[in-house]
Amino acid sequence: MPTPKQTLGEFIIENQADFPYSSGELSRLINSLRLAAKVVNHEVNKAGLVDILGANGETNVQGEDQQKLDVYANRKFIQTLTNREIVCGIASEESDDFIQISGQNRDNKNKYVVLMDPLDGSSNIDVNVSVGTIFSIYRRVTPIGTPVQLEDFLQPGNLQVAAGYIIYGTSTMLVYTTGHGVNGFTLNPALGSWYLSHPNMKFPENGSIYSINEGNYVHFPQGVKDYIKYCQEEKEDRPYTSRYIGSMVSDIHRNMIKGGIFIYPKTSKAPEGKLRLLYECNPIAFITEQAGGNASDGFQRILDIKPAELHQRTPFFCGSKKMVEKAEEFMKRSDEKNQSHALSFSSK
């Protein structure tokens, strides 16, 4: 069992044996991510003092206004990973297409691709609310030494070898998993070192917090509306507490510590959902399951979804196991009722 005073570097070295096939490459990759996170953290912390707040006047591939810090974080993570030549490809929520990375001899022998949301919740920067970075790591499926292909990125989440997030808040934390549990490291800004502060993180099996943007209530599927009513009922263990920050990393982090469910469903305005499967949902789902929680699209396990496109969206239900199962019950019941009504109508 690791000690709370252990640094991230020491932790990585101690657990290197979990990856005998990686030859230290995965460890170096995680080290690069922690370095880029420190650089972004420094910029986030001085955001009110320099001209890096607000939108930059551009939109990303999602059609969303890019914030200046979105662009900065995206550039810093890509630069760090590219300069160290430890991945063969990168895909970012902020970029239209994936990036092929060639080594100095043009033959990239690296095994891993990284997918990332460089700054989740960046619109909250202007109001001094926590934001985060989300990353996901896969072993490539195309032959090593050849240019990386789209299929290297379009892998189901159950094939991830590592995933994590960095939360830039009252303290800066890096939380990640390599399929052997979830551990959280807090940055000591004075020393520039990450220390193991939250070993073996676990979602409580049940919780009393539900996180959803209720301002979109009228656009939600009936199953989600029914679950919200359930959360608000006056019962022995309810009503639950509504807590929604608007930065998914922050909502997930709080719910993992205190127990809760995060829901971002499809709506009549966004029938496919809004969150990105590859950059947000898969890595958070991997962490959640490793921490004893559940993650689904309301009907099926997120990690079993086979992606069809780089910027694919999906509904997302994630958190304490029993809360997600209860939400799925309401979704299934509503879906069965709709199917029954459709059959009844068609037979007339």
Residues of the binding site for Mg(2+):
93, 117, 119-120, 280
Question: Which residues are part of a known binding site?
Answer: 93, 117, 119-123, 213, 244, 274, 280
Q: Which of 98, 80, 76 is nearest to 89 (CA)?
A: 98
CA atoms within 13 A on the CB side of 244: 13
Which pair of structure tokens corresponds to residue 138?
A: 């896969």
User: Closest by alpha carbon to 326, among 238, 194, 219?
Assistant: 238
Asked if residue 87 lies in contact with residue 110, where contact means CB atoms within 8 angstroms, the answer is: yes
- At 307, list the tokens: 């992606």
- Give CA–CA dist 290/64, Å, rounded: 31
Write out the binding residues for substrate. 120-123, 213, 244, 274
The phi and psi torsions of 253 (rounded to 5 degrees) equal -60, -45
Q: What are the Cα distances from residue 123, in Å, to 4, 66, 174, 217?
A: 33, 9, 21, 22
